[in-house]
Amino acid sequence: MRRTLALLACLLVLSGCSRDADTLEKFSRAYSAFLDVSGDTRVASIVIIFDDKKPGSYWAELRGALDQHASSKARLEHATTAIKAESETIDSRFDAFNSAFENLDHAVAQLVEIANSVENREYREDAIGVSQRAREVHSAYASLSRLYVE
C-alpha cells in the first residue's frame, strides 16, 4: 500500500511537471525564433547607417556636400547626388529594417503569450522575465526607428 501511495505521489508530481513540458518546449522555440529575428533586426539597423565610401553613396556624397573647402558648385552636386542616393538606398534599407522590426514585434508577442500560459509559477516567473527583456529589446528598436525617421 505504501509503495502504491509513493508511486501515486511520484506520478502526480511528474504529471504536474509534464503539464508544462509542451508549453516550455513552445517557449524555447519562441525564444530561439526571437533571437534569430532580433539578430536580423540588428543587422538591418546597422545596414542603414553603413558607411559606404564609394562615390555616389549617400554617406560619401553627404560628406562632400558638407565639405567647407569645396566650391559651392561641387557641394551642390554632392548634395543633389546625396538626396538621390538617400531616396534610392536609405529608403530601401529602412524598408528592410521595418520588415525585420515587424517580425521582431510578432516574435516578442508570441514569447509573451507563451510565457503567460506556463502553469508552474516558478517557470512562469522566469519565462515572463525573459519575455520582459525581449520587450526591452523591442522597445529599443522602436526608439531607433523613431530616430531614423527624425
Least-confidence region, from 16-20, 28-32, 146-150: 16-20
62-to-44, 66, 78, 146 alpha-carbon distances in Å: 21, 6, 7, 21
**Buried-state track 43-66, b at ≥16 Cβ within 10 A, e below 16:** ebbebbeeeeeeeebbbbbbebbe
pTM over 0.85: no
Express each pLDDT in 37-48 by its tens digit: 888 888 888 777
Q: Where are the domains of the chain?
A: 20-149
Neighbours of 107 (CB within 10 A): 23
